Amino acid sequence: MAHIKFGTDGWRAIIAENFTFASCRIVSQGIAAYINSRNLAKKGVVIGYDNRFMSENFARECAKVLTGNGIKVYLPKKAMPTPVTAFAIRVLDAAGAVMITASHNPPEYNGIKFIPEYAGPAMPEVTDVIEQQVNKTLETGKVYELGMDEAVRLELLQEIDIESDYINHVKGLINQDYFSGRGLKVVVDPMYGAGIGYLDRILTDLGCEVRTINNYRDPLFGGSMPEPVDRILGTLKRTVTTYNADIGLALDGDADRFGIVDEKGSFIPANQFMYLLLMHLLKTRAYKGPVARTVATTHMLDRIAQKHGLAVIETPVGFKYIGECLREKGCLMGGEESGGLSISGHIPEKDGILACLLAVEMLAYSGKTIAELKAEVENEYGSMVSQRLDIKVREQEKARIMQEIDDYIPKSVAGVKVEDVNTVDGKKVCLEDGSWFLIRPSGTEPLFRVYVEATEWERLKMIQDEVLKDLDLKQF
């Protein structure tokens, strides 16, 4: 079995090729060793799992190993979203959680991630130790297991149902009075994933008229992948317009990311929704704190925060850094352009369910459409458009391109002077007119991500074209 890389989002691999019962047990043994090294066995560990092929079986294999190492396990009766699994840590005062999921990856993948006791993504100091323990287990081959019946007899295995606790909590984060008498029409698409039954239940309780699609388990995800992005949400767009709904909401496979479609069936990028939501929170919440965003996320958040006297914290890409800011800096909101978001008062883990509820609350409070809200913000703060390109390159070209990026320090781009260059994560170049671009390599494949934000699409395209030409970056 090959070396296992255990990052923030855990370890993911193709089912039956590398993600097997044997590899699941080995990773679980590494996690067990980490828990026991911190003397947290008695606090117990939550095990959540999504709707992927055999996820419940992999969860049971994980439970056998953790209990075999003397660690109490809390196991749900059915699939449980990642944010709900993280929330369960707080409810049960557990030592952490294991989540069996490959999130929005294609259906042939599954994975295992660890969420520490603070109920947010694991930081490198945690995942590095777990990875060491996992690969030590690979070398020794020693895995300790306990049968499920024996674990129950020894009171090391307890079945849980956290759904109602979680729903009551997120309802407390929403201002339910705003929904009174509004009767908003909402289409919900959980994309066959673990988020089935959450949004429709909550929104119906709030007086919305809800229609749900793709709300049954399908390990093949309708022949696609459970990623709530523009190119995949065609059915949601059509249903919104056919149903004359006010908004369409989508969740990824483990419900930690969100996708939003407006009343015209147009996809609303996470960058755009986040600045609309920030405006809404500033109008409706008494608490004011910093705003955390990744280096790849829209600077419209900066414009709005600055006008309201709030600091903006820029982090490397990865919600683990946003979660750290939510925990330690008292942030009002934290988000990333890939669809991860959380707010003050909630767990420091990205939560697509909460993000979708806040989107509907925003409409209920304002009585306006997303387009009208966007026009209001642009009238006050100007406009910004953003886009990410994923450029695949040949493996042998990656080192050369990395060196060229390191050496690339232009004085101007697309006719505008460079104002600042930073290397928080990749290379980010900010221009005097507020435009910027960021180039980051993928850590796992021969791929470069190029993010650009500008005041209009024509400027954005000019910046894209010049940067790609300067670096000789093109698809092969």
Domain residues of the chain, as ranges?
11-162, 178-265, 385-470
Q: Residue 363 — pLDDT band, cuts 50, 70, 90?
A: very high
Whole-number Å distance between alpha carbons of 246 and 263? 5
Reported as a single tens digit per residue, the pLDDT across 275-299 is: 999 999 999 999 999 999 999 999 9
Please give the angle made by the CA atoms of 122, 66 and 135, to the nearest 5 degrees. 60
Task: Using alpha carbons, select from 397, 398, 399, 451 the residue that is nearest to residue 429.
Answer: 451
Whole-number Å distance between alpha carbons of 214 and 51? 12
Per-residue confidence (pLDDT) for residue 396, from 0 to 100: 83
Does residue 442 register a pLDDT over 70?
Answer: yes
Model confidence, pTM: 0.96
Whole-number Å distance between alpha carbons of 253 and 466? 37
Per-residue confidence (pLDDT) for residue 9, from 0 to 100: 77
Does residue 368 register a pLDDT over 70?
Answer: yes
Per-residue confidence (pLDDT) for residue 350, from 0 to 100: 97
Per-residue confidence (pLDDT) for residue 472, from 0 to 100: 85
Asked if 183 and 71 count as a contact pair (C-beta separation under 8 A), the reply is: no
Reported as a single tens digit per residue, the pLDDT across 67-107 is: 999 999 999 999 999 999 999 999 999 999 999 999 999 99
Q: Residue 111 — pLDDT band, cuts 50, 70, 90?
A: very high
Q: What is the average per-residue pLDDT within 413-418? A: 96
Q: Which residue has the tokens 């993948």?
A: 109
Reported as a single tens digit per residue, the pLDDT across 128-171 is: 999 999 999 999 999 999 999 999 999 999 999 999 999 999 99
Per-residue confidence (pLDDT) for residue 8, from 0 to 100: 64
- For residue 174 the two structure tokens come to 């929403």
Sheet holding 291-294, edge to edge: 312-315, 291-294, 333-336, 340-343
CB-facing half-sphere around the CA of 1: CA atoms within 13 A: 23
Q: Residue 10 — pLDDT band, cuts 50, 70, 90?
A: confident
Per-residue confidence (pLDDT) for residue 62, from 0 to 100: 98
User: Domain spanning 385-470 has what CATH number?
Assistant: 3.30.310.50
Whole-number Å distance between alpha carbons of 453 and 443? 23
Per-residue confidence (pLDDT) for residue 473, from 0 to 100: 85
- For residue 433 the two structure tokens come to 């007119």
Q: What is the average per-residue pLDDT within 336-343? A: 96
Per-residue confidence (pLDDT) for residue 7, from 0 to 100: 66
Q: What is the average per-residue pLDDT within 318-332? A: 97
31, 32, 384 from 37: Cα distances, Å: 10, 8, 49
Q: What is the average per-residue pLDDT within 411-430? A: 95
Q: Residue 430 — pLDDT band, cuts 50, 70, 90?
A: very high
Q: Which residue has the tokens 């309708």?
A: 222
Does residue 216 register a pLDDT over 80?
Answer: yes
Give a three-class secondary structure readout of the chain.
CCCCCCECCEEEEEECCCECHHHHHHHHHHHHHHHHHCCCHHHCEEEEECCCCCHHHHHHHHHHHHHHCCCCEEEECCCCCHHHHHHHHHHHCCCEEEEECCCCCCCCEEEEEEEECCCCCCCHHHHHHHHHHHHHHHHHCCCCCCCHHHHHHCCCEEEECCHHHHHHHHHHHCCHHHHCCCCCEEEEECCCCCCCCCHHHHHHHCCCEEEECCCCCCCCHHHCCCCCCHHHCHHHHHHHHHHCCCEEEEECCCCCCEEEEECCCCEECHHHHHHHHHHHHHHHCCCCCCEEEECCCCCHHHHHHHHCCCCEEEECCCHHHHHHHHHHCCCCEEEECCCEEEECCCCCCCCHHHHHHHHHHHHHHHCCCHHHHHHHHHHHHCCCEEEEEEEECCHHHHHHHHHHHHHCCCCEECCEEEEEEECCCCEEEEECCCCEEEEEECCCCCEEEEEEEECCHHHHHHHHHHHHHHCCCCCC
Reported as a single tens digit per residue, the pLDDT across 238-255 is: 999 999 999 999 999 999
Same fold, 11-162 and 178-265: yes
Per-residue confidence (pLDDT) for residue 2, from 0 to 100: 64
Q: What is the average per-residue pLDDT within 14-43? A: 96
Per-residue confidence (pLDDT) for residue 1, from 0 to 100: 63
How large a percentage of the chain has pLDDT more than 90? Answer: 93
Give a three-class secondary structure readout of 204-262.
HHCCCEEEECCCCCCCCHHHCCCCCCHHHCHHHHHHHHHHCCCEEEEECCCCCCEEEEE
Domain 178-265 is found in CATH 3.40.120.10: yes
Per-residue confidence (pLDDT) for residue 475, from 0 to 100: 60
Q: Residue 229 — pLDDT band, cuts 50, 70, 90?
A: very high
User: Domain spanning 11-162 has what CATH number?
Assistant: 3.40.120.10
Asked if 248 and 240 count as a contact pair (C-beta separation under 8 A), the reply is: yes
